[in-house]
Amino acid sequence: MNFDDTPQEAAFRAEAKAWIAANAPKQYEDELRKASLGRVALKGANILEVAKAWQKKKADAGWACLHWPKEYGGRGSSPIERVIWQQEEGPFGRLSSMFIIGHGMCGPTMMAFAGEEQKRKYLPPLASGEKIWCQLFSEPAGGSDVAGLRTRAEKHGDEWVINGQKIWTSGAHYSDYGILLTRTDPTVPKHKGLTMFFLDMKSPGVEVRPIKQASGASDFNEVYFTDVRIPDSQRLGNVNDGWNVSLTTLMNERMSIGAGVATGFPELFDFCNSLMLEDGPAIENRAVRSKLANWAVKASGLKYTSMRAISALSKGERPGPENSIGKLVAGSMIQDVATYALDLQGAAGALSGIEDAEVAGKFQAMLLRAPGTRVEGGTDEIMRNIIAERVLGLPGDIRVDKDVPFNKIPTKGRA
Amino acid sequence: MNFDFSDEQKQMRDEARKFLSEQCPPKAVREVLDGKAPYDKALWKGLAEMGFLGVAIPEQFGGAGAGHLELCVIAEEMGRALAPVPFSSTVYLAAEAILIAGSDAQKQKWLPKIAAGEAIGTLALFEGKGNPSPKAIKVTANGGVLNGVKKPVSDGAIADFAVVAARTGSSGRESDISLFIVDLKAGGVEVKSLTNIDLTRGQAEFSFKDAKAEPLGAVGEGWSVITQVLDRAAVLTAFEQVGGADRALEMGRDYALDRIAFGRPIGSFQAVKHMLADMYVSATLARSNCYYGAWALSTNAGELPEAAAAARISATQAFQHCAKNNIQVHGGMGFTWEFDCHMYYRRANAAALGLGSLSYWEDALIDRMRKKNAA
């Protein structure tokens, strides 16, 4: 048992480290390092431009989408090399947030289902960040139950005509392309009437409207489709086989094992180390210590769970199912941590202005953003179902709409 | 990076699991549970023959000289099987104390006997309620004899010898505490069995009346040795706890798959599925913390105090969580003597206390993290 690199890993790490040291946009390092949950913002610079420039630089030197084949803009690296890169990229990796969906979900779906010519055309600019992609799956009527989506695609000659609405689409407002899951046959059970496409987000009839979130920020969008035309050549997979295509997308969700998940614990520990309560330093208060210890072991548990997964990759094995706990644990933990950090401040904990609030309002921002982390990318409840079914082997839910034609499924809970 | 046990160590785990599933089925645990024997003597002998008792004891002292990673994988299996033997008190506490502080002669005297299953040892630390603290130690050592009362002492009623923490000074500092080895068969110690929530592992009270005692380590260094022993035992016990947690989770999962209610397996209800998913989460966090503890223990790393506390807290929580929810999944049957669920529940809650309770380790973890932060 050890934490050491193999000689090959060490050589790769040294190469990555040297290249990053010579090329990374160091002027932003401090700001990137301090950014915690939520949006990364840079003072006096356009984050999108900085991110695109860094991605392009990486791509030109062969450091973009490391695990993709070279002909599609990647490096052909092993999974462990990808993890090492993420570790070395450190805070600069935060500049990749707008590429995550494209690189982690759209790219792999294109790789599996697009034609060779399309792959050579679309994947390299996706890898280099010159084009940004989004994923258009969720709808008002289909969140956790994504197969309940209602956006229609109807065939007219060699084209499909799309009408409907998507929601929670991250980055739609700056995306160039998207992958789109639609309903092509409402007369069959819901999973059997879906079809996947990719489209140009600048197509006529596509309208992107930002959603103002509960936190006040806008990371997501609604996307409306009104008679949007997509050529049949941009269909991914067979007609009515979109559910299986979407499973490929979802299985390729970014493996965050190299980067680690945010729990809020390091911030809280530092805060308690400096905070004075009426009867002395917070860190010496018994109740505070008990809370901290409980979160400390969750944070370390997640960290060493990642290390176990990385070790599996290092040996060329598939990581075990244990990595599936990360999002579930971290999501509610960051919410609890933020709540407690405010509680420790009494009435002043409610202040969130950068000048008035402790730690520049970081915990207040964390608190307001946290509900979203427990919902996006699979709610806590869906994550528990996944663990129960795929890891523990418990039966799937009984699906009352499994054999019902989609257009016969009730649409309202109460009449 | 290779943050995992080696193939040989995993093979040893498989061997231990196979051995224990044959030699220590729930029926054997119940012999001790029902009070028919104070511990499973045949199993103890078998563990010695397998080389498990001396796995981390150097070869020159009669052990296998393998190491602590090997001991961790065996500990996990012992916990999984609820082995009703004085393994933790003898191997994690007494043997570790002697390995850390013993003279060559003391090692020669006791370690080969431990490895051979011929001597049961324990650590006599607590004196009534409260967590480990030098201030709580009132048993005195004067002129080579001990006086005072220790309780609870794990496996005290079946032990042949004990490592005893006693007071040798009155300065109010840690250096007032020294360690001694007491041969419990040599007279001067009255041993009384105490009833406890885990009926598969005994607790006892020792009353020392001018009991002959031999110093273990230098006078005044007892507390520093105790702290080291507790850290090492915390990692090893955490592996037992993780083994128990995993087994309780499996029992709950299996029952949820088999039991039909409302026309379907209860494991298809989300209320049950989510409870089991949360048990898996606890057990996984604990396992990962334990691996870090194992690494720190086996390399004697400076991180051991922090890693041990984290493993201890996480594994305690996981075992308690899995054991109590295992009963919940089983419903009424889980609350019967006949089903094995309560044996895990009893063990989980007793194991949570034996080396100092959660609040003690929480406090220790924060102290140790602060120290690291300041460094």
Q: State if pTM tops 0.90.
A: yes
Could you tell me if residue A257 is inside a domain?
Answer: no
- What's the pLDDT tens digit per position in B78-118? 999 999 999 999 999 999 999 999 999 999 999 999 999 99
CATH code at position A148: 2.40.110.10
Percent of chain A with pLDDT over 70: 96
Select from B277, B363, B369 the Cβ nearest to the Cβ of A388.
B277
- Residue of A409, A37, A1, A13 whose CA lies nearest to A219: A37
How many Å lie between the alpha carbon of A44 and the closest alpha carbon of chain B?
34
CB contact under 8 A, B292 and A315: no
pLDDT at A360: 78
Between B235 and A78, whose confidence is greater?
Answer: B235
Our CA angle for A267, A272, A273, nearest 5°, is 100
Percent of chain B with pLDDT over 90: 98
CB contact under 8 A, B264 and A395: yes
Position A80 pLDDT exceeds 80: yes
Residues whose CB falls within 8 Å of the CB of residue A341, separated by 6 or more in sequence, listed in order: A264, A267, A268, A271, A349, A358, A359, A363, A366
Could you tell me if residue A259 is inside a domain?
Answer: no
pLDDT at B374: 82
Residues whose CB falls within 8 Å of the CB of residue A140, separated by 6 or more in sequence, listed in order: A165, A167
A315 in contact with chain B, both atoms CB, cutoff 8 A: yes
When scoring B281, B300, B359, B371 by the number of chain A Cβ atoms within 10 A, the one with the most, hence best to mutate, is B281
Position A253 pLDDT exceeds 60: no
Domain count within chain A: 3
Could you tell me if residue A156 is inside a domain?
Answer: yes
Mean pLDDT value of segment B213-230? 97
Name the residue in chain A with its Cα closest to that of B274.
A384
At which of A127, A158, A191 does a domain end?
A: A127
Q: How far is CA A85 from the centre of its chain?
A: 18
Could you tell me if residue A74 is inside a domain?
Answer: yes
What range does the domain containing A144 cover? 133-251
Looking at the structure, tell me whether residues A99 and A204 fall in a common domain.
Answer: no
Label residue A39 by pLDDT band (50, 70, 90). low
Mean pLDDT value of segment A391-407? 91
Q: How far is CA A266 from the centre of its chain?
A: 22
When scoring A3, A272, A300 by the number of chain B Cβ atoms within 10 A, the one with the most, hence best to mutate, is A300
Are B146 and B208 in contact, with CB atoms under 8 Å apart?
yes
Could you tell me if residue A383 is inside a domain?
Answer: no
CB contact under 8 A, B253 and A392: yes
Looking at the structure, tell me whether residues A121 and A11 fall in a common domain.
Answer: yes
Position A258 pLDDT exceeds 70: no
CB half-sphere exposure, A29, CA atoms < 13 A = 10
Mean pLDDT value of segment A74-79? 92
Position A415 pLDDT exceeds 70: no
What span, in angstroms and rounded, lies between the C-alpha atoms of B199 and A358?
A: 51
| CB-defined contacts A:B, below 8 A | 164
- What's the pLDDT tens digit per position in A264-303? 999 999 999 999 999 999 999 999 999 999 999 999 999 9
- What's the pLDDT tens digit per position in A215-243? 888 888 999 999 999 999 999 999 999 99
Could you tell me if residue A361 is inside a domain?
Answer: yes
Position A256 pLDDT exceeds 60: no
Looking at the structure, tell me whether residues A242 and A290 fall in a common domain.
Answer: no
Position A257 pLDDT exceeds 60: no
At which of A109, A127, A145 does a domain end?
A: A127
Looking at the structure, tell me whether residues A198 and A287 fall in a common domain.
Answer: no
Looking at the structure, tell me whether residues A76 and A137 fall in a common domain.
Answer: no
Could you tell me if residue A405 is inside a domain?
Answer: no
- What's the pLDDT tens digit per position in A117-131? 999 999 999 999 999
Select from A5, A297, A303 the Cβ nearest to the Cβ of B313.
A297
Domains of chain B plus CATH, in order, are 7-88+102-118 (1.10.540.10), 122-219 (2.40.110.10), 223-374 (1.20.140.10)
Are B205 and B194 in contact, with CB atoms under 8 Å apart?
yes
pLDDT at B286: 98
Position B364 pLDDT exceeds 60: yes
Position B243 pLDDT exceeds 60: yes
How many Å lie between the alpha carbon of B128 and the closest alpha carbon of chain A?
22
Mean pLDDT value of segment B297-305? 95
Q: Give this complex's ipTM.
A: 0.95
Looking at the structure, tell me whether residues A159 and A98 fall in a common domain.
Answer: no
How many Å lie between the alpha carbon of A245 and the closest alpha carbon of chain B?
27
Position A254 pLDDT exceeds 50: no
Select from A5, A296, A312 the Cβ nearest to the Cβ of B365.
A296
Least confident of A131-135, A356-360, B196-200, B288-292: A356-360
Could you tell me if residue A391 is inside a domain?
Answer: no
| Maximum Cα interatomic distance, chain B, rounded to a whole number of Å | 73
Average pLDDT, chain A: 91
Position B236 pLDDT exceeds 90: yes
What span, in angstroms and rounded, lies between the C-alpha atoms of A349 and A363?
A: 9
Q: How far is CA A172 from the centre of its chain?
A: 14
Looking at the structure, tell me whether residues A358 and A289 fall in a common domain.
Answer: yes
At which of A83, A103, A127 does a domain end?
A: A127
